A = this chain, B = another copy of it.
Amino acid sequence: MAKNPTVYDVANRAGVSIATVSFTFRRPERVKESTRNVVLAAARELGYLPSASARGLADGRTGALALFSFTYLADAHADVVPQLPGGADPNADFRLFPLYMDEVQRGVELECWRRGYAVMVGGGSKTTSETVVADIAGRVDGLAVLPRSIPDDVLSRISARIPVVQLSTPPHGTGGDHVTVDNEAGMRAVTEHLITVHRLHVLQFLGGLHASDIEARFKGFRTALRTAGLPAPAKPAANGGADWEAEAAIRVGALLAEGDLPQAFVCATDPVALTVMDVLQAAGIAVPGQVAVTGFDGIAAGRMARPALTTVRQPMEQLGRAAVDILIKRIADPDGAPVSRQFPVQLVLRESCGCPPA
């Protein structure tokens, strides 16, 4: 592979100055047509590929946006895959993909392409170091971040340098641009459904707090209970911890051992709900016959589960698109007032709550 030709090479070959070459690509209208054609021909003959680094350095913007996401079980997964025999496929049941963040990511990508931005996607996981985030941040003009993908202090340091939009409510009204959904109303809706339609009164909430969006969901859960005149717990039955699914599984296992199951498990997310269903079914408990289970997110795996998972669907693609839209506006107006957009969610009744199969 020969050394990449530069503006100099192209200018040389076309018999013009480098400025003319640059203008030919950036401001075609400012170059005489005949000249432009000569330059384009030279560029084509040489296989000229403009360097984004040089351009970015020269004009102070990269023309790219990034989403910082995180991969569920990424580390474990990465270790497992290479060892599998040829045909094996850990994603065959779509439990690991696509999840909430993957659909948001798609929205980000589609919107970036539509608006002429390049998209970079950064991968977080529990072990994400500041270096990794800074590396991504240094490559783009703006950054969208999913909840829990970046430590708070790192996030605030980055926000001071480039536009950042969070895909969740910033803790304690920390300000900053963000896009969210109405978590509280959504969770309240499923909970009310369980109470009023299925006449279930002993409900437990499963899933980590320590995250503003989950807190809002728990709040919705409690509101529904109180509104129905039922006792509302002060805390989720399973909470916190780095691995919500494991935490929930352990809790359910304990309840199983005590023979003290509720009538329904209201889970903070679909993955938690699916894990809980696994545990129950392994223990021979019928869902929804003996215990109902509900989730939150609306991922594909929930639809494929048996029984199909009743959940609250977030408009993930739209969330991603909105994040990009906000970033682009923020880049144009760095000092405007913080923007916040909230989307509605949708109750999706399937079988795991006790509703009949479609």
Chain A residues with a Cβ under 8 A of chain B? 1-2, 4, 44, 47, 49-57, 62-64, 71, 74, 77-78, 81-82, 86-87, 89-92, 94, 97-98, 102-103, 106, 109-114, 118-123, 134-139, 157-158, 160-163, 298, 300, 303-304, 313, 315-318, 321, 334-335, 343-346
Contacts and interface: CB of A to CB of B under 8 A. Distances in A.
Copies in the complex: 2
Contact of A118 (B81, B86, B97, B122): B122
Contact of A303 (B109, B122, B138, B304): B304
Contacts of A71: 110, 113
Nearest 3 A-B pairs (CB), nearest first?
Answer: A53-B56, A113-B123, A52-B139
A75 B37 CA distance: 30
Contacts of A318: 81, 89
A102 B99 CA distance: 12
Contacts of A90: 317
Of A106, A118, A162, most B-chain CB atoms within 10 Å = A118
Nearest to A97: B106
10 contacts: A1-B163, A52-B62, A53-B54, A57-B57, A86-B343, A89-B346, A91-B316, A91-B317, A109-B123, A113-B123
Nearest to A94: B300
A102 B106 contact: yes
Given A54-B57, A113-B74, A118-B120, A161 B4 contact: yes
A134 B49 contact: yes
A1 B160 contact: yes
Contacts of A94: 300, 303
B113 A103 contact: no
Contact of A86 (B49, B62, B162, B315): B315
Contact of A2 (B52, B109, B160): B160
A138 B1 contact: no
Nearest to A317: B91
Contacts of A344: 86-87
Contacts of A118: 120, 122, 135-136, 139
B87 A345 contact: yes
B81 A321 contact: yes
A113 B92 CA distance: 22
A2 to B, nearest CB: 7
A298 B52 CA distance: 37
A162 B53 CA distance: 15
Given A1-B160, A92-B313, 20 more contacts: A1-B334, A4-B162, A47-B160, A49-B137, A51-B57, A52-B138, A55-B138, A74-B110, A78-B111, A81-B318, A86-B315, A86-B343, A87-B344, A91-B106, A97-B98, A102-B106, A109-B121, A112-B123, A118-B139, A121-B121
